[in-house]
Structure 1
Amino acid sequence: MALWAATLCARDRSLAAMLSVAAVIGAVALPGAGLWAVPGLHVGHRLDARGRLRAFNLTMAALLPAPLWPVLAG
């Protein structure tokens, strides 16, 4: 992401341009990461039992390749 931003979004290769791109990425990425971290903490507390953790891991492993299905099938 940083390489993409540095090559495509910065107007030139000056320090000011790179810092402005970094500020925008930080302003967008940090709240987005927080939106994932807070629910992750709550899910983590519910996965205290070994069986629940295994069921969660198997479910996530099954769902992980799901977005690739249209690419592989088409």
Structure 2
Amino acid sequence: MRRSSADICADILSVAVNGAKKTHIVYKANLNFRIVKGYISTLVSGGLLTPEEDERYYSTEKGVEFLKRYRALLAPMQAVPYA
């Protein structure tokens, strides 16, 4: 099953909570560099992710809040068995 854009954003934010370089995000979120570039740009412009001078990206408070709410939204659905 394909991941939604929201799933991918949540994966990236999760990896970047404690800081992560782009390569680490690519491998941990199971994406390629071309795809990650676009998502990182979107997350940075939305204020959910911030780049630092050490070439790492960090989830902002807004990004962590998005992640918490997204996980809370998905929790009841993950308990439902697939047909």
Q: TM-score, normalised by structure 1?
A: 0.34
Q: Which has the higher contact order (CA 8 A, sep 6+)?
A: 2
Which protein shows a greater Rg? 1
Q: Which has the higher strand share?
A: 2
Q: Which has the higher helix share?
A: 1
Q: TM-score, normalised by structure 2?
A: 0.32
